[in-house]
Structure 1
Amino acid sequence: MSPARRRANAATAPVLRRPVAPMLAASVDLVADGAGLAHEPKWDGWRCLAFRESDGVYLQSRAGKNLTTYFPDITRAIRTLPPGVVLDGELIVWERGRTNFALLQRRVTAGRRLLGLVRDRPAHYVLFDLLADVGGEVVLELPLSARRARLERLLVDAPAQLALTPQTVDMRQVADWVLNWTVATGIEGVVSKRLAGRYEPGRRGWWKFRTRIVTEAIVGGVTGGIRDPVTVLLGRFDRRGRLRYTGRTHPLSGAQRQQLGALLSPPRVGRHRGAAVEHPWPEPLPAAWSGQLDRLAPVRYVRVDPTVVAEIDADVAFEHGRWRHAVRYARAQPDMSVCDVPLLLGEEEGYFGDLR
């Protein structure tokens, strides 16, 4: 179709107006495999829809919030694209070759320091879909393969901050992403999509596999009660022997609550050099400790004596000494000492020092 014909069709086509609910992915325990599927890295950043409007750029979060103010570097890059384009992708910030989620969050709280942060820690927009093409032509009904081809053409001369995400049908490449990229670059896993699939706003029509690890942590507190815990607040010791908060679990099952409740006890107040030594975490737990901007309320919980070790199943979004997402509690390990739990090392200690 000629450019003139495309412009004429776009003039009479429906316009994609914001906000638009992004298409979502359902969690799976194995990478989806089969004919007609393509796979992409699951980036550790903020989902973002970008609207290149006639008079500027608008960045929309997954929840429909306006992110435009916090990413002037990205809006400047998107201004180089033709008006009418609507993009879907992930905002990320690189630090020493890995994605750094905390640097994204600082954009929101930087205030007057925002421009300095933009200069020193520029963001990138990793793109994986196209919702509207040049002139506002809505392409939701096109198959993913066709939308991808249009997106590739659109980004040929785009600034480096606008990057096309890798895509493959080769399961060997997928295995390399899962086994190596999660460590080297900080991606969270793999997203699988039908090449023939259309873009369905708000629907979970894709599949996401998160790389997970099995490890241990120390039970430092619980929501609910000591004898009937609902969720578990986890910690690890740093090299100075201080117990640091590292994350929280999903709700426990009935059997898990009963087993763990039988092992817990209230915190003991010891003495060190004549002074009382109390549980090191504040109660309630500060909202900032959750690492989630959409959870602004402090967490009420019950402190426990940090002597019980828990086996957990967690994804790889572990940054600055904390799991950003809730972890899966597997079981208590009464035969393990808290001294056997991995320590927090390196930059994690400094991070907690800033928060305390």
Structure 2
Amino acid sequence: MQLQINGELIVWERGRTNFALLQRRVTAGRALLRLAHDYPAHYVLFDLLADTGGEVVLGLPLSERRARLERLLVDAPTQLTLTPQTTDMQQVSDWLVDWTVAAGIEGVVTKRLDSRYTPGRRGWWKFRTRLVTEAIVGGVTGSIRNPLTVLLGRFDRRGRLRYTGRTHPLTDAQQEQLGAMLFPLNPLQQRTATVVHPWPEPLPAAWSGQLERSEPLRYVQVEPLVVAEIDADVAFEHGRWRHRVRYARARQDVSVFDVPLLLGEEGSYFGEP
């Protein structure tokens, strides 16, 4: 048995984690070496499972496993790094408020210092940093009167509506409320419409930024006139939320032109030309 460790690969871009750049390596083909050179991956270590001599350390407390891991990484290259750890709650608060938002990190994980590593059991708890914000409803899965999930967008600085993500499934009450407010997209009126809907149907598979869905997403386009209040984490990259967001309610008191703009480099959005 050899050294066994637990960790996660990440790619940094302009001081933020970027899952999309890591994901692109799967289908990069001949561009893989260039992509790895331009955006090198780092391996962040969380835990030690077996020491260098093959000694299984699952039964040791986390504090001891952490100490051994620190010793192993004394002369490690910068691409191998140990995840930060603290018992200072003020430090944790600072991470949640400042660092997670700035770096695009989802949140913090808590473990007991005396905990053992038990395979197949979750001995930790994650606390995510979440933001309440708004986005524009551009489409739904299911039907207009019974929407199952919502496809969201925001205007970029050129005034173009960009796809930004998808919600978790709606509750029955949310389906009823939102379904009564939506109107099907009328292509004949798009040339003169105040808000033009530019997304294709079906939605290209690459737009989702997720590996588990490889086929295009069929959905119903709607007139982009309704604003949704959503609860999202801070994993936002290339103009999209990495994970699904939580739909809260329709904001009838907010215009689509009051929704925060999608800031970033136009033309650099994952999966779009």
Give yes or no for TM over 0.5. yes
2:7 alignment counterpart? 89
1:112 alignment counterpart? 30
Cα deviations across residues 215-269 of structure 1 (Å, max 9, x unaligned)? Answer: 0001111111101111111111112222111100001111111110111111133
- What is the RMSD of the two structures over their aligned residues, measured on CA atoms? 1.8
Selected match of 1:154 from 67, 72, 92? 72
Superposed displacement of residue 97, structure 1? 2.2
2:25 alignment partner AA: R
- For 1:135, what is the secondary structure of its paired residue? coil
Q: Does 1:355 align with 2:264?
A: no
Distance 1:147 1:307, change over 3 A: same
Q: Does 1:255 align with 2:173?
A: yes
1:190 alignment counterpart? 108
2:225 alignment counterpart? 307
Selected match of 1:272 from 175, 191, 194? 191
Is this contact kept in 1: 2:238–2:264, CA < 8 A? Answer: no
Segments of structure 2 that go 5 or more residues without pairing to the other structure are none
Cα deviations across residues 91-116 of structure 1 (Å, max 9, x unaligned)? Answer: 11122222222221122222122222
Is this contact kept in 2: 1:221–1:234, CA < 8 A? Answer: yes
Cα deviations across residues 74-129 of structure 1 (Å, max 9, x unaligned)? Answer: xxxxxxxxxx1011111111222222222211222221222222222211111110
Aligned-pair identity (%): 77
1:210 alignment partner AA: R
What is the alpha-carbon distance in structure 2 between the residues aligned to residue 192 and residue 256 of structure 1?
33
What is the alpha-carbon distance in structure 1 between the residues aligned to residue 77 and residue 261 of structure 2?
41
What is the alpha-carbon distance in structure 2 between the residues aligned to residue 192 and residue 184 of structure 1?
20
Larger radius of gyration: 1
Superposed displacement of residue 202, structure 1? 2.6
Segments of structure 1 that go 5 or more residues without pairing to the other structure are 1-14, 16-83
1:267 alignment partner AA: L
What is the alpha-carbon distance in structure 1 between the residues aligned to residue 88 and residue 75 of structure 2?
27
Moved over 4 A (4+): none
- For 1:205, what is the secondary structure of its paired residue? coil
What is the alpha-carbon distance in structure 2 between the residues aligned to residue 225 and residue 176 of structure 1?
43
Matching of residues 312-331 of structure 1 within 5 Å: 312-331=230-249
Is this contact kept in 2: 1:268–1:278, CA < 8 A? Answer: no
Is this contact kept in 1: 2:140–2:222, CA < 8 A? Answer: yes
Is this contact kept in 2: 1:264–1:305, CA < 8 A? Answer: yes
What is the alpha-carbon distance in structure 2 between the residues aligned to residue 243 and residue 96 of structure 1?
25
